[in-house]
Structure 1
Amino acid sequence: MSAIMTWAQRFPMDRQPSLEEMDRYADNPLWPELRQYLKCAYGAEPRTEYSRCGLEPGWNVKFKKGSKSLATVYLRPGYVTAMVSVAPKDEPAAEGVLLTCTEYTRTLYQNTASSKMGRWLMIDLTSSEVLEDVKVLLALRAKPTQK
């Protein structure tokens, strides 16, 4: 039995994946739904960038509204992880909107340490409800131009 290639092995620094390759690798309907939402709500197009980060090396996808970072997405077989940060100034508002979020997202927030740069939430998109949580948290960073 052959070992499954990791994202970084399949797409080394000199081999940037296409959007179609990303879709096939993630094989998760929430990934194109997230992309579509970010495009419609914020005008944010995916920007693929290579990261040498020791925890998550390889190609990731960044979304920005102007110069403001909205989310960084990490792809894995069958699912995606959206990294959304909550700035310290937005933590009181986040604690309010978290009351409407899934238990998964509330627990993740509570278990993520706060720093002077905020909380960096690594949210696994496992359901439509969790995707809705991501949308609510993104709205704390930047107001959507459309819904």
Structure 2
Amino acid sequence: MEWSLSFEQDHEPTLAEMINFVNNPLWVDLQSFIETTYHIQPVMNYSRCSAQRGWNLKYRKSSKSLCVLYPMDGYFIALVVIGNKELNEMEAYLPQASPEIQALFKRTPFAAGGRWLMIPVTSERILDDVKNLIQIRVRPKL
């Protein structure tokens, strides 16, 4: 079933309902990584965007977006924006990234201040890439 049909705009899901819908341990792994590394909590948000309509989780550190997580049936999409400031570090990371991330980066045009990478998280390898991209986006404090 499609996520946006399960939870309309007037029916905000709980985090538990999101976890149950995604039904993939990678979702909880990424949430735990972000919340532990950056000491932040997500904000539930409803998107009317036709590209990915429905409820999602936004993670921000100070005024900078880390990522947005979109629940899907059995997996999820992580949106990470790589801007001009992160471009050199991203290009240095690319050779060690998964083939999926390399291909996505190459085919994603620069628009609205960055490359908006909509990453389907379907494996541990891609999850590791997402964690690395988030750390490129915003360096965690040690």
Counterpart residue number, 2:141: 145
Deviation readout 1:27-75 (Å, 9 max, x if unpaired): 0110000000000111121211111112211101101112211000111
Deviation readout 1:56-100 (Å, 9 max, x if unpaired): 111011011122110001111100000000002221210101111
Counterpart residue number, 1:18: 14
Higher CA-based Rg: 1
Which residues of structure 1 form unaligned runs of 5+? none
Q: For 1:42 and 1:52, how far apart are their aligned partners in 2? A: 28
5 Å matches for 1:89-104? 89-104=85-100
Counterpart residue number, 1:57: 53
Q: Report the 3-state secondary structure (helix = DSSP H, G, I; strand = E; otherwise coil) of the residue aligned with 1:16.
A: coil
Could you list the structure 1 runs, at least 4 aligned residues long, displaced by more than 4 angstroms after superposition: none
Q: Percent identity?
A: 37
Q: Which amino acid aligns with 1:25?
A: F
Q: Which amino acid aligns with 2:43?
A: R
Which residues of structure 2 form unaligned runs of 5+? none
Structure 1 window deviating more from structure 2 (20-29 vs 89-98): it is 89-98
Structure 1 window deviating more from structure 2 (109-118 vs 35-44): it is 109-118
Superposition CA RMSD, Å: 1.1
Deviation readout 1:92-136 (Å, 9 max, x if unpaired): 210101111111111110110113511000111111111111111
5 Å matches for 1:61-72? 61-72=57-68
State the TM-score, normalized to the length of structure 2: 0.95
Q: For 2:77 and 2:92, how far apart are their aligned partners in 1? A: 23
Counterpart residue number, 2:76: 80
User: Is 2:17 the partner of 1:7?
Assistant: no
